[in-house]
Amino acid sequence: MKQIFLIRHFKCANADGLCYGQTDLLPDAGFDDSLASLRATLLGFEVEKVVSSPLSRCLLIAEELDSSSPVSIEPCLMEIDFGRWENKLWTDIPRHELDTWGTSFMDCAPHGGETFRQLYNRTWAAFQEVRQLPYNRIAVVTHAGPIRAILAGLLEMPLHRAFALNPQYGSVTKISFVNEQSYTIDFIC
């Protein structure tokens, strides 16, 4: 049985109130404790392969996970590109831009970055490639947006409902494939 563990990065340093989709932030001071908790969660699963977003907040975790092969970096697993909003406080972004995005985030990018549909398309394609890797237990260290997109795709839910899914920092979602069409999703942390 193939199992894929979707892991959201830990809380970032100096990120309170910050729009930081593809901004490369480091984990906060609780990194070691969060890593110990994650290792305890994954204990007994014997991860064989780790695939990671290239952003430091994910890659630092990926490099600390034990696996039988080197970490693979997958740029398509990065968080959404917020364009000119990147690294700005949410409160400094014009209200009318936020309102426009909030009502049509699927296909609208007033920030000049990506739409959620674009994030979904690249993330879903990357996830399909991960599924084809010749390993039975794969950890994917990524962000909330890609996790929402992958779960929405698996659950065949309308993409505009993906934000109903709320993966927490350091959370682990286990997907167990019985075959190509049959799987279970467990929220284990």
In the predicted structure, residue 20 carries a pLDDT above the cut 90:
yes
Share of the chain above pLDDT 90, in %: 94
Rounded to whole angstroms, the Cα distance separating 159 from 11 reads 25
What per-residue confidence (pLDDT) applies to 25? 97
Identify the architecture of domain 2-187 in CATH: 3-Layer(aba) Sandwich (3.40)
User: Given the DSSP bridges, would you call strands 49-52 and 137-142 parallel, antiparallel or unpaired?
Assistant: parallel
Length of the chain: 189
Domain range summary for the chain, segments of one domain joined by +: 2-187
pLDDT, tens only, 121-130: 999 999 999 9
pTM of the model: 0.96
- Residues 39-53: what's their mean pLDDT? 95
In this structure, is the dihedral angle defined by the CA atoms of residues 128, 23, 144 and 1, taken in order, positive or negative? positive
Q: What is the pLDDT of residue 180?
A: 80
Residues 56-113: pLDDT tens digits?
Answer: 999 999 999 988 889 999 999 999 999 999 999 999 999 999 999 999 999 999 999 9
